[in-house]
Amino acid sequence: MARDFEDHCWQDVIDPDTLRIYQAYQRKLYVGSNPAVLAIDLYNKAYLGGNRPVIEVDREFSGSCGENAWRALPHTQKLFAAARRAGVPVIYSTRHVDTGGVQSTNRNLERLAPDIYDIKAELAPQPGELVIYKERASAFFGTPLIAHLQMKGIDSLIICGESTSGCVRASTVDAYSYGFHNTVVEECTYDRSMITHKVNLFDLHHKYADVMHIEEVLTHLDGLAQQRKVA
């Protein structure tokens, strides 16, 4: 049975008046017919300090998403496995360590380890999977991503990663502007702050993407795998 349109993590922070104002955005949710997974900034830096509250790990590792990143990791592994079974491309974005002074945000950064922006080993790309290197928040800005998607005939994106309020949001808005249908997987997306995570998911859901739960997306991908196997 289909979930309620607002059956998501923001229910405890969005007031009834705001829900009423946003009623016009309610619609049927779906995953596109020929999707790619866009995995945003699943790099080592987000996991530094281990599976602990962000306020604790931030004292030593500024920018770590702590337990929020670790909570999303097993869900993201399931997403990647299902996508690969279905023959759905998994495309990664990350940053270069040295960007010549160009920063993706205004946050102060100290000298970083050379592997800080390597994709975390548990989520690493498989041979042949595309990694996009970016210098700004959006995976589309100043990168060849749109050319690769057009070449593969991709019509929609399944988006995961971090941070919800930063690079995920920027990439999702740009993808919408390019005409892609976007699905943001709630359990595979995270931020340092839960309030910014929830509010940004709420806003993206109503304007630029279908926020869906991991089990819904896995069901779609498993069905797609079966269709392609039969075909």
Q: For residue range 69-101, what is the model confidence (pLDDT) as tens digits?
A: 999 999 999 999 999 999 999 999 999 755 455
Q: What is the mean pLDDT of residues 126-149?
A: 97
Other C-beta atoms within 10 Å of 48: how many?
19
CA distance 118 to 2: 38
pTM, entire model: 0.92
pLDDT at 113 over 80: no
Burial label, 162 (beta-carbon count in 10 A; 0-12, 13-18, 19+):
buried
Give the whole-angstrom CA distance, residue 45 versus residue 40: 13
Cβ-contact 173, 139 below 8 angstroms: no
Provide, rounded to the nearest whole percent, the portion of the chain with pLDDT above 70: 91
Grade residue 8 by pLDDT with cuts at 50, 70 and 90.
Answer: very high
Measured CA angle at 44 (ends 41, 49), to 5 deg: 125
Q: Write down the architecture of domain 31-230 according to CATH.
A: 3-Layer(aba) Sandwich (3.40)
Two tokens at 91? 């495309």
pLDDT at 14 over 90: yes
Please state, as a whole number, how many other Cβ atoms lie within 10 Å of the Cβ of residue 70. Answer: 16
- pLDDT digit string, tens, across residues 22-34: 999 999 999 999 9
